[in-house]
Structures are given as C-alpha cells and as structure tokens.
Amino acid sequence: MAEVRTRSALAGADDAWVATAVGELVDRLASDYATRPCVGEAERARGEYDRWRGRVFEDDELYPTHIATFLEWFVIERVTSDGLAPVVTAVLGGELEPAVARLARALACSYRSLFEVRELRDGALWLTDLIGGGAWQCGGDGPLPLVSPGDLMEARLVPWCGGVALGPVALFHPPGARAAIHALLTRWRAAGRLSAQDLGPLAEMCLRWERVRHIAVERIYSD
C-alpha cells in the first residue's frame, strides 16, 4: 500500500511542531482565499491539480494526501488571478501576526520534490533530491521507525532556523518501484525534461498502483 506519513512520524519532537504550524497556516490561507470574491478559483485550481496528478475519490487510499498536497500547491505555488500565490499575497498584505508572517515567508520559499532517504543518523533524515539535486538533513532527535534507507518520498522542504524542515505530508512510493522510478528519472533527464512537474505523473502512477496492486509495479511505473 502507498503510505502517507505525517511529519511528526518522520522527525523528533525538536522540530515536529513546524509541520503542525505549516499545516495550520496552509488551511488558514486556503480558507481565507476561498472567502474572497474570486468566483470559481478554487474549483478551477482543483481541476488543474486533478488533471496533473490524477483524479482521486474519497474511497481512494491516497485521498487524504491528495487533498493535503492540493492545498499546499494552491496556497504556495499556484499563481491566482491577482498574479500572486496566496501565501505571497498574505505576506505582502502585512496583516499576519509577526510569528505567522515569518512562517509564511519561509513557506513562500519552500519547495516540493522527490527525495531518496540515503541515511538515518542520530535521529535525522539525510535526503537526496532526485529532481533538483542536492543533499539535505532534516530532523535531529528521536527514532525514525517508519523510514528506511532507499525510501523514495515526495515531500516539501521548508527553510527554517538555518536548516530545513519537512512539510506536514510525505507521499512514499512503493519500495518495489524504486528501480523503475530511477529509470524514469534517468530517461527524463536525458531528454532534458526533468522538473518538479514530473511529480504529477509519478503521483498518478502511485494512485494507479494503489488501485490495481495485482499488476506488477514495474509495469505501472513506466512511460
């Protein structure tokens, strides 16, 4: 089964609160924006997101993470009819409390990618960005019982206090898809097309695998 693991399960208590704060801020900004006179904006955004990553229904195992990542994308990445992402609009509006504004600025600089867990050391995750390149360390305290070296996860990194913290939701691809995903990334990179946009097709493959697990995972994770 494709696994959805919350940030609190992936890091120590030292910085797990960042995930909670990020989740609350995303919900707040999404709600605030939805109440503005932007008729149909959220509906259009959901349609765009579903076309990118596959349409998910409430009885799908991945429904909760699909909605959570949609809200992140809508608030942080999608440029709306006013020419800005909602989180940028909120920062520039100057109406957020100072502590919330600081988190909003960090969120505006965050990014989502596909990461490989390279190592678990001293309660920290050592990650390699398979799309943008670079290595990152997240966490720092406590055991990480749900994570293993070699895991591939789609996640958001938020700059915070001189380092990075994981966002609230991580989508883990099935372990059996690891070689197939690496092969896809290699082909896409050679074709000069590898980018964060490829998170969508990969998420759709994960959704298809969740629905038809009797089919070999290598067949689903292919062009």
Identify the pLDDT of residue 9. 42
Q: What would the mean pLDDT of 165-194 be, rounded to a whole number? A: 95
pLDDT digits (tens, 9 = 90+) for 105-124: 999 999 999 999 999 887 78
Q: Radius of gyration of the chain from Cα atoms? A: 17
CA distance 117 to 131: 14
User: Does the structure show a pLDDT above 70 at 178?
Assistant: yes
Query: Of the candidates 88, 11, 92, 86, which has an alpha carbon nearest to the alpha carbon of residue 41?
Result: 86
**Helix, strand or coil for residue 103?**
helix
Identify the pLDDT of residue 10. 46
Encoding tokens for residue 107? Answer: 């969120």
Identify the pLDDT of residue 37. 56
Q: What is the pTM of this model?
A: 0.89
